[in-house]
Amino acid sequence: MIARRDVYQAIADPTRRTIIGMIAAQPQNVNAIAEKFDVTRQAISLHLKVLTDCGLVVVKKQGRDHFCEAQLDKLSEVSAWVDQYRQHWENKLDALEIYLDKLKKEKYGNKKD
């Protein structure tokens, strides 16, 4: 099975979402990130690898440090999907609106108040 590497997989995990939140404002050292979690350094590295593979994080080497930088543009892909799903519900309300018009006509006919 080929591992899925897209923005959804990146943010499907709470730890990865927390990491993105941590580095959203400014890049952080890998060690500094790992220290904030109760899991092993390896586990964090793996999460960072997924985030990198998905294009949400870029790791930049500065001397002996590895800084993680968030690439937030990628997240707009998610909001585009959310917008489409929202549109589905907007459509439901469109249908309700049309139906209400029909109901009004049936109930009150065309008489003007």
Partner 1 sequence: METRKIDTSDRELLITRKLNAPVQLVWEAWTDPEHIANWWGPDGFTNTITKMDMRPGGEWNLVMHGPDGTDFDNKSIFKEIVPFKRIVYEHVSYPYILATIEFEDLGEQTLLKWHMLFESAEEFLKVVKTYKADKGLEQNVAKLDVYLSKMK
Q: Which is nearer to partner 1, 16 or 68 (CB)?
A: 16
- Cα–Cα distances (Å) from 90 to 77, 78, 93, 99, 104, in that order, read 20, 18, 5, 14, 21
Does 107 participate in binding partner 1 (rule CB under 8 A)? Answer: yes
Between CA 10 and CA 67 the distance in angstroms is 18
Q: Whole-number minimum distance, CB 98 to partner 1, in Å?
A: 5
Q: Whole-number minimum distance, CB 67 to partner 1, in Å?
A: 21
Q: Whole-number minimum distance, CB 63 to partner 1, in Å?
A: 28
Does 72 participate in binding partner 1 (rule CB under 8 A)? Answer: no
Task: Indicate if the alpha-carbon torsion angle 81, 27, 38, 50 is positive or negative.
Answer: positive
SS3 annotation, 56-72: CEEEEEECCEEEEEECH
- Draw the binding track, 15-54, toward partner 1 (x: CB under 8 A; -: no contact): x-xx-----------------xxx----------------
